[in-house]
Amino acid sequence: MKNRRNKLTGILLVGLYISGILLVGLLSSCSKQIESDAFGNFEAIETIISSEATGTLISFNIEEGQIYQMNEEVGIIDTLNLHLQKNQLLASKASVSSKIANILSQIAVYKEQKTTLLKDQERLQALLKDGAATQKQVDDINGAINVTDKQIASIETQNSGVLNEIKSLEWKSKIIDDQISKCKITNPIKGTVLEKYVEQNEFVNRGKPLYKIANLEVLELRVYVSGTQLSQIKIGQKVTVLTDKSKTENFENEGIISWISNQAEFTPKIIQTKEERVKLVYAVKVKVKNDGRLKIGMPGEILIQK
């Protein structure tokens, strides 16, 4: 009798254990079957940084996965040839500038001569009134003044040409300075380096991609909604973003709708079933603050907060 009672108790305990397992499985299954409103993948604005100069990459401090700040200098292309060109321009400018002093001294001499001639002109005109000078003397002094004026104008024209030549050299010098500044590789945005395309000491041409960078602090989840869901969403609206934590659980993040397409399209091929791919949907971007778990290409879902 006692053995029979123990056997029944054992059977009862096994039954309760199996029932408990089924109940837990059912609850877990229910917790996972949350009806998401839209599905998609995370993406970021990826920027490819290219070389703005041609030469040997003598310094390149870029590592994949590292975060770099905006305006941080990360490399430099050889500038020796550019500096030699600039020194040549500076020497030419100094040579041309030396002509100005000579021209100005000549102008000063002729102006002094003109001052003397003007004084002689005044005296001759007074003497002419008194009959002590002839008209020819007055005409001669007037002619000398006119010649001096033309000589001054001629030399001033030469000076203008020299000044223009100096300006041209200065502009060429500024162009060289701009080319030298472009040899410095400056990171344009704060972000994480995704890919590195070249190594230090490689020769690069202008326009050659150097590395790819993206700001991963905020990612965009691109999802697709049906036409019937459009009335439930708007730009600036908060939504719940779900990502996989385990087979039965999800991580939750808050997202904000930043863009809604105004044109319908067929569901992208990343959707598994053909039945879903032939439906017309609208693309929606949801900005999500990245706590470190989110990665580019990772799948995600949203729940529209109603």
Q: Where are the domains of the chain?
A: 53-77+185-210, 80-182
Six token digits for residue 188: 């344009």
- Residue among 89, 60, 273 at smallest CA distance from 183: 60
Pure H helices in the chain = 2-32, 80-130, 135-182, 274-277
Six token digits for residue 111: 């102006």
Per-residue pLDDT reduced to its tens digit, 226-256: 888 888 999 999 999 999 988 888 999 999 9
Please give the CATH architecture assigned to the domain spanning 53-77+185-210: Beta Barrel (2.40)
What mean pLDDT is predicted for residues 188-203?
A: 96
- Angle (nearest 5°) at CA 217 between 211 and 218: 105
- The strand pair at 299-304 and 67-68 is best described as unpaired
Contact of 285 with 225, CB cutoff 8 Å: no
Give residue 264's pLDDT band: very low, low, confident or very high (50, 70, 90): confident
Arithmetic mean of pLDDT over the chain: 84
Cα–Cα distance measured from residue 20 to residue 244, given in angstroms and rounded to the nearest whole number: 26
From the options 1.10.287, 3.40.720, 1.10.1790, 1.10.3470, give the CATH code of 80-182: 1.10.287
| Residue at 72: amino acid letter | E
Cα-Cα-Cα-Cα dihedral sign, residues 194, 197, 201, 206? negative
| Residue at 147: amino acid letter | V
The pLDDT assigned to 306 comes to 65
Is residue 218 classed exposed, middle or buried when 0-12, 13-18 and 19+ CB atoms within 10 A define those classes?
middle
The pLDDT assigned to 83 comes to 95
Six token digits for residue 278: 């032939």
Cα–Cα distance measured from residue 236 to residue 219, given in angstroms and rounded to the nearest whole number: 15
pLDDT, greater one: 221 or 263: 221
Six token digits for residue 299: 């799948």
Per-residue pLDDT reduced to its tens digit, 140-186: 888 888 888 888 887 777 777 778 888 899 999 999 999 999 999 99
Q: pTM of this prediction?
A: 0.67
